[in-house]
Structure 1
Amino acid sequence: MALSEERLEVIRANAELVIRELAHASGRTLGFDGDSVAYVEEFIERQRAQVPETARGLVGVIGCYLGEAIIEAVPGADWSEDENGALIVLFANSDAVYPFHKVEKQIAEGLEAGESILSFYNVSINYVAAGKLGEAASEETP
């Protein structure tokens, strides 16, 4: 289901907030590219270690950021809702990914448990969006 323009504006504003605040705090230039996603992943890990309760409150804004980064990288991708009302990034091939869920998992379990928003970003843009998810799974299995 397509989202209203007002809802999309809120999502985009949250994504820009992540870029603005993390760029200000780090002195780095950030955007919606893979290197910036890697920096946000590191930020999540630092927050998990320092103030776990605060980190959980970041799911919404970082989920918006991660989704926007995926949309920026994949022509034709856009925000939508699944049948349960969860926000998803929907690709032209009708496959979808759940950026908020992935951020929540990394915050809860961390990189040490294999939860990585950078890996999610890469798999989303290189495999899911291209209809090659089976190839990604076979590359990980020796």
Structure 2
Amino acid sequence: MEEDELRLIQENVTLAIDRLGPLSDVDFGLNRESVEWVDGFIERQRSRPGFDPEQIDGLVGVLGSFLGACVAAATDGHWRRTDDGAWGVLLPDGSMAFPFTKVRKQFRGGAEEGESIAGFYRIAVGFVATGKLREAREREAGPDAR
């Protein structure tokens, strides 16, 4: 079962690259530039007449798989299912990133509500996976909190 779900995630990644790559103006693949392009794609979809944020499950599956693969590629992370059945990317620092949730949030709330998969990617790759976020929190808490 888990292998089937991982295979579906990989098929979604391939679908995203095959379908969105030719539409983009970037070297489309598992990279930051592609995530930024997809961030704009989501915003363009949201602004289309008749867009219904409740009818996006297919897009969330494809784009969440792609976003997760990008995070995993940049951090040496890997897909893992949580105890409650949610799929996420296990990062090297032991924390989890949940790309499907973030894609859904951007479709529903958009940039005007501060939802951005590009921001999610930058934070997951540049701060969470490297331990910099944890270090900053520890510095803020002070030496007595350790």
CA distance in 2, matches of 1:47, 1:63: 15
The amino acid of 1:44's aligned partner reads: I
Taking the TM superposition and a 5 Å limit, the aligned residue runs for 1:1-142 are 4-26=2-24, 28-50=26-48, 51-53=50-52, 56-57=56-57, 58-75=59-76, 77-134=77-134, 135=136
Task: Give the deviation of 1:28 after TM superposition.
Answer: 4.9
When normalised by structure 2's length, the TM-score is 0.82
CA distance in 2, matches of 1:93, 1:24: 35
CA distance in 2, matches of 1:19, 1:106: 20
Shift of the 52–120 alpha-carbon distance from structure 1 to 2, 3 Å rule, reads: same
When normalised by structure 1's length, the TM-score is 0.84
Shift of the 36–27 alpha-carbon distance from structure 1 to 2, 3 Å rule, reads: closer
In structure 1, stretches of 5+ residues that fail to align are: none
CA distance in 2, matches of 1:123, 1:107: 19
The amino acid of 2:19's aligned partner reads: E
In structure 2, stretches of 5+ residues that fail to align are: 140-146
Report if aligned partners of 2:26, 2:33 keep a CA contact under 8 Å in 1. Answer: no
The amino acid of 1:53's aligned partner reads: D
CA distance in 1, matches of 2:26, 2:121: 20
CA distance in 1, matches of 2:124, 2:25: 28
Q: How well do the aligned residues superpose, as a CA RMSD in angstroms? A: 2.1
CA distance in 2, matches of 1:91, 1:23: 26
CA distance in 2, matches of 1:24, 1:35: 14
Report if aligned partners of 2:75, 2:92 keep a CA contact under 8 Å in 1. Answer: no
The amino acid of 2:51's aligned partner reads: P
3-state SS of the aligned residue for 2:131? coil
User: RCO (CA 8 Å, sep 6+): is it higher in 1 or 2?
Assistant: 1
The amino acid of 1:115's aligned partner reads: E
Higher deviation after alignment, 16-25 or 100-109: 16-25
